[in-house]
Chains A and B, each alone.
Chain A
Amino acid sequence: MKRTIIMLLGLLAMVAFAGEKETITVKGSDTMVILAQRWAEKYMEAHPDVTIQVTGGGSGVGLSALINGATDIANSSRPIKGSEREKLKQRFNSLGVEVKTAKDGLSVYLNDACPVRELSHAQLKGSYTGQITNWKALGGPDAKIITYGRENSSGTYVYFRDFVLGGQDFAASVQTLPGTAAVVNAVAKDKLGIGYGGAAYAKGIRMAAVKKDNNSKAYEPNAQTVKDDTYPITRYLYMYLRSRPTGAMKAYIDWILSSEGQDLVTKVGYFPIK
């Protein structure tokens, strides 16, 4: 009888684990969603036993899902907040694991017809906080500046607010759009438009050169200026995990940080971390 029970249990375990496909869920940053999809597709080609499900929604949404246990990996285009880390500590007794996966030059988008070529930190801050409302103050035509931005669940929104606006709030006149592609699209069609977002999305528009202050040199975001941080709005793109990765998750993270994974970073339009 005892032997039968042991055999049955063994059989059950074999059925339960035989051919089981490992599934990794990834959620968060819209800035990173294309990159994350490319990584997942490429990785699954070589590892058919692993399924990677990627969705966007914004960095805040991804980190909330990580805290609630609804995703394995949260993509984020901003560092995790202290309050989010506190929640991870409360639920999982863990500080979370931060993985820097790529670098991005947070780009300032301008319409092709816009004569302005470079902008300072202060000019960007003034435009987005509502202190500067006319292109003339930025060296452009005598016309109203139309500012486009992201929703507050976006990591790009938070990063721009914290590092460019110095923590000040966006002006109410900033038009909120769902996703960086929508911001690019709006600026491409609007001669008076200005937007911000990841460098990889900059298609059909021009990227402004950005300088720290009036006495500094302006830099455009490119491989060199982002790598050596001379482009003033350089940021990391992160993956956050609840605890130290093991098994399939560890293999996937290691692959992302390998030369193969980092090659995809360049192909998508971002910049490798090494």
Chain B
Amino acid sequence: MKRTITAALLLLLCAGFALAQEESKGTADEKIAEVKGAVDGINEQMAAMQSTLDALAKIKFTGYLQEQFQVADSDAAPSFAGGNFASGVHSRFLLRRGRMKLTYDNVLTQYVLQIDVAQTGLAIKDAYITVKEPWMKAFSLTTGVFDRPFGFEISYSSSSREAPERTRMYQTLFPGERDMGAKIEYATESGPLNFLNFKGGLFNGTRENIVENDNFKDFIGRLGATLPFSEQNFEIDGGISVYSGQVNVGKGNRIYKQSGKAYSIDSTTTLTLGKYFDRTYMGADVQLYYDLPIIGGMSLRGEVITGEQPGSNNANWQTANTFYNAAGNMYRRNFMGYYINYVQNVGDKNQFVLKYDEFDPNTDIASTDALNNGSNFTPGDIKFTTLGLGWIYHWDGNVKFTLYYDMVSNEKVPSTVTAASLKPYAVDLKDNVMTLRVQYKF
């Protein structure tokens, strides 16, 4: 009997244990299914989030702000370092640039809109669309408002440039740097021609924010090459550029052209009405980069531009609209300018800059010709040189401080000159400018 009871109890125990195991297994399976369901749910959510993130990653929002304090040698100093000083003013705080750039980059297509918010107001700087061909990915088409593809200094961003401003030569020949048009660009990172690059296209020739006034389109282009010698930490880049444009004289203005040592009327009012006159530049640029052991990287950049420029009698640049809409006369001058720029990095934080530029707006005439009767020599013919010295301190990846001193020298006219507009140029103008700038870039 006892044995029977023990056997029955053992049987019950085994049955109970088996049942418990069965239940436990069932619970574990349910739990696994539950967790798997939750993981699948998270995966679905992640996939949805990923597609949203991928779309957002194509949008880039960048910008920079440049604020500066400047002191000039004299009140109302004429200046290319951020514009002329106001009457009675020789020091100023200035919000020089406030850029905001939106880029939507879809690998083979790109949308870019950049605006500038400064004390002068709001302005569109860039507004363009780029489409790259999908086969070689070497050629692209850009249309809209963008930098004119000439030389080096235009495309070198103001946020990266070591000197606070572009040279007098560039500010005179390419005010605003941009124009409305369409360009083709060739650049590739592989293949036997990867050292070559080209950009060129047709433009209105009126600047970025002025509507076209004629049917002639200006051609602007640059053929460049990059020759790296990586083992030696040395690279030489360079290019040649051309600007072939014309200006329409819509109001029948008089055209003056240098003839010998004086200007002479090139044609009569009747003959010039609606005619086109040349705006032609040729340029060459070279950039050398070398990493100096222990000290840091250095660059030596130079550029020269020569050509024919239509201007007014007092300035060697006017918008195409000046001649088209106004009755001012046109002065056709042969010009020449160049600059040399040396930058030395010292460690990761410091940079020293030395820059020299010269711009002769009229190579056919010298300041001594101001005394010649009939030469019509004006301030628009005076040659300027600028020697700039600067120190840049990079506070961090976003902020940099620049201390820069521009020493500007003008060609001096004879002291016996009688024209009131030329009398100030009998001596060197007091127009040196010291700039202390802080920039935030993101």
Contact = CB atoms under 8 A, between A and B. Distances in A.
B345 interface: yes
Nearest to A98: B230
A93 B230 contact: no
Query: How many interface residues does chain B have, given as a range?
Result: 20 to 34
B189 A95 contact: no
A81 B345 CA distance: 22
B196 to A, nearest CB: 13
Given A69-B348, A167-B137, A95 B107 contact: no
Contacts of A92: 296-297, 345, 348
Interface stretch (B169-177, B287-295, B420-428): B287-295
A169 interface: yes
Q: Classify the interface of chain B: helix, strand, loop or mixed.
A: mixed
Q: Classify the interface of chain A: helix, strand, loop or mixed.
A: loop
Interface residues of A, number: 23
A243 B296 contact: yes
Given A69-B394, A95-B233, A243 B291 contact: yes
Contact of B397 (A68, A152, A167, A242): A68
A69 B230 contact: no
Nearest to B160: A90
Contact of A93 (B47, B137, B297): B297
Contacts of B235: 89, 95
Contacts of A91: 160
Interface in A238-265: 242-244, 246
B228 A95 contact: yes
Contacts of B297: 89, 92-94, 242-243
Nearest to A68: B397
B98 to A, nearest CB: 21
B57 A152 contact: yes
B107 A69 contact: no
Nearest to A243: B291
B50 A95 contact: no
A93 B298 contact: yes
Given A92-B296, A93-B299, A95-B235, A242 B289 contact: no
A176 interface: yes
A97 interface: yes
B83 to A, nearest CB: 25
B289 A89 contact: yes
Contacts of A169: 107
A244 B233 CA distance: 8
A7 interface: no
A169 B297 CA distance: 36
B343 interface: yes
Given A81-B189, A176-B50, A95 B291 contact: yes
B107 A244 contact: no
A9 interface: no
> Which 4 A/B pairs are nearest by Cβ-Cβ distance?
A94-B297, A93-B297, A68-B397, A93-B299
20 contacts: A69-B396, A82-B187, A89-B235, A90-B157, A92-B296, A92-B297, A93-B289, A93-B296, A93-B345, A94-B296, A94-B297, A95-B228, A95-B230, A95-B291, A97-B233, A98-B230, A176-B54, A242-B297, A244-B233, A244-B291
